[in-house]
Structure 1
Amino acid sequence: MTDIVVLGSTNMDLVAYVEKAPLRGETVTGREFCTVPGGKGANQAVAAAHAGGTVSLIGAVGDDAFGGRLRSALEHSGVSTDHLRTVEGPSGTAHIVVDDEGGNSIVVVPGANGTVERLAPGDEGLIASADALLLQLEIPLAAVVAGARTARAHGVRTILTPAPAQPLPPDLFDATDLLVPNEHEATTLTGRTDPLQAAIALLEVVPEVVVTLGESGVLYAARGEEPVAVPAPQVTAVDSTGAGDTFVGALAVALGEERPVREALAWAATAAALSVQRPGASASMPHRSEIDAGYAS
């Protein structure tokens, strides 16, 4: 099995489903509301666990009611929470509007995630024992950089999802093996609107890049190699909230199993396609048997 450590956020997603997302100043009526465990860190951890990895999460939840639910949900999904701290105050929340085309807009309130400013005792040893460390940007940047540096020092593959999109310091790029932005994030980092040109520009700072393109699939680029485009399975999207995190978690497992890059990308794209056909983020993430069946078909 692939041993994966995720350093990142844990949120309770507060999701409203609407026909059409409201414009600024506009009020619309939703048809459904639900609370679903989420956060990019927790989502990637659940995705990797469902895909067959052995997964631990480093992060924090609050001492509120959401905190207990978030911890239980992770453990139920097979994610170790031994390094998930409980801190005083509210857990993180994400306020999500999902429209009838499966698109979404999200406001994240960090809560307990904002307290993860550094690695805690034992975190370095956990990272050092892993095959891969997954990182995102919903916790303070100092902790992300510390995690990446620790992984690099111990020869652990570092996979960074640069979301929410923001400028990043050179020392984080220096400690990143694989960068996985979506189109918007790739443009933010490079100023290039063309995904291929953005990927090529990013190879100046990291050795490998995967740009996720939604229903158009993914684009992979590595130094000294020809770019690889992998199409996405054509499906009808219900909720795309967790698609990117599903892709990254499944990709980490596939790469840890040393699958060829094109196969790993296609297998992870299959997982993401399965996830968008169901509502919710972590609740939509497919298990390994489902991914294998979808990939085989």
Structure 2
Amino acid sequence: MTKVLVVGSINMDLVVETDSFPRLGETLFGRRFATYAGGKGANQAVAAARLGAQVAMIGCVGKDAFGAQLKSGLEAEGIDTRWVKETADAATGIAAITLSQADNAIVVVPGANHCLTTAALDAAESAFAEADVVLAQLEVPLETVERAAQLAYKHGKPFILNPAPATALSSSLLDSTTLLTPNEFELTTALGQPAADWQILLAALPGKVVMTKGSDGAYFTAANGLLQHQPGFKVTPVDTTGAGDTFNGALAAFWHLGLPEAARRAAAAGALSVTKPGAQGGMPTLAELEQLLEERT
């Protein structure tokens, strides 16, 4: 099994469904309420684990009921949580999501995720040494992500960075990143070139970027600079939440197979994830992925 180390966020999603969004000062009855485990880091860790990877996670939750529930949920997926810190300085991160008429409004409170420090990564340096690949996102402090890249480099491990939420990245972080996995907006933002053509940006970074493009699949450049397209897998979508996180988790899980094959499997896993509700709820198992690949061969 590939040993994947995930450095990232752990959230509880609080989801309310209503017939309309409340106006300022208005109180409405909602139709349904549910809580879902979330956070891009935790989502990607679960995706990789379900696809057969041996996963460890570095993150931070509050010393509260949500933190205990989320940590227990990760452990139930077989994820090593010894490096998931519990802090009394902040509550577990949450996303308050209101859904109405196929639209949504979201308020994210990072909470304990912003308590994940560089010192916490240094204390977990042995996890970097043991990993085959390191995967990170941008829902924890940027300096912590930069430290993760440094530790991965120090131990000779590939570092995959999903630059979401979108922000401009330093040249040092880009240089120490083995593979960047943005969508089109995240790509132009990460490189500080919002008006640039994505194909030109990919050509300028051969072998260093896989850009996701929704149902169209993913694009990347080979080491020789030629543009490659991994088509999406056609499915009937139910809930697209978590598709990108599934793609990233799968990419890390199958990294050892080489980029073209890892991207193919990641695209298939991402497609399967939208056929069921919930971010983690729709993430496929290895058996489900293999069945789809066999059917579509």
Decide: shared fold, TM above 0.5. yes
Question: Which residue in the other structure is 2:3 paired with?
Answer: 3
Question: How much has 1:193 moved relative to structure 2?
Answer: 5.9
Question: Which residue in the other structure is 1:14 paired with?
Answer: 14
- The answer as to whether partners of 1:186 and 1:192 remain within 8 angstroms in 2 is no
Q: What TM-score comes out, normalization by structure 1 length?
A: 0.90
- The answer as to whether partners of 2:138 and 2:164 remain within 8 angstroms in 1 is yes
1:101-146: CA deviation from partner (whole Å, max 9, x where unpaired): 6x76543211001111214254111112111000100011111000
Q: What TM-score comes out, normalization by structure 2 length?
A: 0.90
Question: How much has 1:211 moved relative to structure 2?
Answer: 0.6
User: Which residues of 2 match residues 134-153 of structure 1 at below 5 A?
Assistant: 134-153=135-154
Q: What is the DSSP-based 3-state SS (H/G/I as helix, E as strand, rest coil) of the residue aligned with 2:118?
A: coil
Question: Which residue in the other structure is 1:117 paired with?
Answer: 117
Which deviates further from its counterpart, 131-140 or 220-229? 220-229
Q: Which one has the largest radius of gyration?
A: 2
Question: Which residue in the other structure is 1:177 paired with?
Answer: 178
User: Which residues of 2 match residues 1-297 of structure 1 at below 5 A?
Assistant: 1-17=1-17, 31-88=31-88, 89-98=90-99, 106-120=106-120, 121-189=122-190, 190-192=193-195, 194-201=197-204, 203=205, 207-256=207-256, 258=257, 260-297=258-295
Q: What is the DSSP-based 3-state SS (H/G/I as helix, E as strand, rest coil) of the residue aligned with 1:127?
A: helix
- The answer as to whether partners of 1:51 and 1:288 remain within 8 angstroms in 2 is yes
Q: CA RMSD in A?
A: 2.3
1:87-113: CA deviation from partner (whole Å, max 9, x where unpaired): 013100122345666x76543211001
Structure 1 counterpart of 2:41, one-letter code:
G
Report percent identity of matched pairs: 44
Structure 2 counterpart of 1:96, one-letter code:
I
The 1-side partners of 2:105 and 2:275 are apart by 18
The 2-side partners of 1:24 and 1:142 are apart by 38
Q: What is the DSSP-based 3-state SS (H/G/I as helix, E as strand, rest coil) of the residue aligned with 1:142?
A: helix
Structure 2 counterpart of 1:191, one-letter code:
P
Give the direction of change, closer, same or farther, for the CA distance of 1:210–1:184 in structure 2 (3 Å limit). same
The 1-side partners of 2:23 and 2:226 are apart by 43
Which ranges of structure 1 fall in alignment gaps of 5 or more residues?
Answer: none
- The answer as to whether partners of 1:117 and 1:141 remain within 8 angstroms in 2 is no
Q: Give the length in aligned residue pairs.
A: 290
Question: How much has 1:251 moved relative to structure 2?
Answer: 1.0
- The answer as to whether partners of 1:5 and 1:56 remain within 8 angstroms in 2 is yes
